[in-house]
Amino acid sequence: MVNANPAAAARRPAEPPPLPRGAVAAVALLAVLNLLGALGGGLVRLGSLAAGEHGPTGALAVAAHGAVMMAGFFGTLIALERAVALRRGLWVPALAAAGGLLAWGGGWWRPAEVLWALSAAGLVGLYAWAGWRRAMSLPLAVEASGAVALLVGTLGFAFGHIDLARLGWSAFLVLTIAGERRELTRLVRLPRWSAQAFLVCWAALALAVVLAAFGATGVALALWWAALAALALWLLRFDVATKQWRAKGWAGHTAICLSVGYVWLALAAMLGLAGQAVAWHGLWLGFVMAMVFGHAPIMLPALAGWRPEPTRWALLPLGVLGLSLVLRTLAAPTGWSAGLAVAGAGHALAFVLFGAVMVRAVRRGR
């Protein structure tokens, strides 16, 4: 058959070989180390809050908590997934992982920030390459805007603009997830207005980051939480996951995790509109981590070649994390120290359980 678009065919290079599996595994291991460092900092931070301390106790671990989790762990994980899919750019997640190790391992913040910024710029470049050499699409553009938000958040952190860093890094995660889910909805017929509504959500989230970059933090946050509420309703209504939670195997597991995550996204948005600071952890632990728990069994075959055996125990960590997050949501506004301590232990237990369940599933699988 004659190619109907010679120009597009000329731009499309031959597929390179897959990235070396050993190198991919090494970067994935560095991502896990970043996760452990971030969780340790989070426990120190939660412990100091439970004790009523707001001083420099555990200053290094506390400061590393959010930055290493966002730019270190998630920056590595998402860039690694993109590099494996495109079969190029392994240096992008490697720089993000190295930056995280420098930050929480040695306290070398400036070098870490430089590596994180370079990695974020590299991730933007990977998305640009994919759009130019393969095919540009709305979902890809949404994910690419998430990579830009990662760069903005990292630069904000480097220059001491913590609100911008928090918003930019959060937008990176939300837009990446939204783009991936929008890609899957292209397989089903949707009302025309639903596509327009998604565009409005995307534009509002991006505008919130822009407003924060120009110092209009109050307006940016109000727009941010309102846009998240609208996005949660869109996902609950149109995402295919909400209709597949009865499916067998990992498909049903993923659908349940995602549906629970969308509920947490809506709750976080309502807490944010009410001015509750705990809304951020509802977003990160409730929504984002539900996505991680749901997609991990799918990502393992792609990243490591492992095919974990489906198990109902995989939902246990999601339940433990949800219950501990409910406790944290109730304890945080009143400063209930015992509740915060138990919630922190529950968060840690959920991650330990998830790791144990996945190891067992991998060993019993192929």
> What is the tally of structural domains in the chain?
3
Task: Please report which confidence band the pLDDT of residue 12 belongs to, taking 50, 70 and 90 as the band edges.
Answer: low
Question: What percent of the chain has pLDDT above 90?
Answer: 64
Q: Which of 238, 259, 276 is the last residue of a domain?
A: 238
> Is 252 in the same domain as 366?
yes
Tokens of 317: 């960590």
Place of tokens 């295919």: 240
Compute φ and ψ for 247, nearest 5 degrees.
-65, 155
**Structure confidence by residue, pLDDT tens digits, 172-191:** 999 999 999 999 888 778 88
> Is 125 in the same domain as 142?
no
Between 214 and 51, the higher pLDDT residue: 214
Residue 366: what pLDDT? 66
Beta strands in the chain (DSSP E): none
Question: Is 9 inside a domain boundary?
Answer: no
Question: Is 167 inside a domain boundary?
Answer: yes
> Is 53 in the same domain as 113?
yes
For 84-129, give the DSSP string: HHHT--THHHHHHHHHHHIIIII--HHHHHHHHHHHHHHHHHHHHH
The one-letter amino acid at 96? A
Between 98 and 107, the higher pLDDT residue: 98
How far apart are the C-alpha atoms of 91 and 71, rounded to whole Å? 15
> Is 158 in the same domain as 113?
no
Between CA 87 and CA 160, with CA 112 as vertex, the angle to 5 degrees is: 120
Answer yes or no: is pLDDT of 47 > 70. no
Q: What is the pTM of this model?
A: 0.90
**Per-residue pLDDT averaged across 37-51, rounded?**
65
> Is 76 in the same domain as 94?
yes
Question: Is 4 inside a domain boundary?
Answer: no
Question: What percent of the chain has pLDDT above 70?
Answer: 89
Q: Which of 85, 111, 130 is the last residue of a domain?
A: 130
**Per-residue pLDDT averaged across 303-331, rounded?**
90
> Is 150 in the same domain as 124?
no
> Is 270 in the same domain as 290?
yes
Q: Which structural domain range is residue 141 located in?
A: 135-185+192-238
Q: Which of 114, 130, 146 is the last residue of a domain?
A: 130
Given a contact cutoff of 8 angstroms between Cβ atoms, the answer to whether 24 and 303 are in contact is yes
Question: Is 12 inside a domain boundary?
Answer: no
**Structure confidence by residue, pLDDT tens digits, 241-289:** 888 888 888 899 999 999 999 999 999 999 999 999 999 999 999 999 9
Residue 85: half-sphere exposure toward Cβ, Cα within 13 Å: 13
| Of 354, 273, 357, residue with least CA distance to 308 | 357
Tokens of 287: 């929504």
Residue 59: what pLDDT? 40
Answer yes or no: is pLDDT of 53 > 90. no
Answer yes or no: is pLDDT of 86 > 50. yes
User: First CA to last CA across the chain, in angstroms?
Assistant: 39
- For residue 4, count other CB atoms closer than 10 A to its CB: 7
**Per-residue pLDDT averaged across 189-199, rounded?**
91
Question: Is 8 inside a domain boundary?
Answer: no
Answer yes or no: is pLDDT of 123 > 80. yes
Between 236 and 244, the higher pLDDT residue: 236
Question: Is 2 inside a domain boundary?
Answer: no
Residue 10: what pLDDT? 52
> Is 254 in the same domain as 362?
yes
Question: Is 298 inside a domain boundary?
Answer: yes
Task: Please report which confidence band the pLDDT of residue 42 belongs to, taking 50, 70 and 90 as the band edges.
Answer: low
Q: What is the gyration radius of the CA atoms in the chain, in angstroms?
A: 20
Residue 64: what pLDDT? 63
> Is 70 in the same domain as 111?
yes
DSSP 8-state assignment for residue 172? H
> Is 76 in the same domain as 169?
no
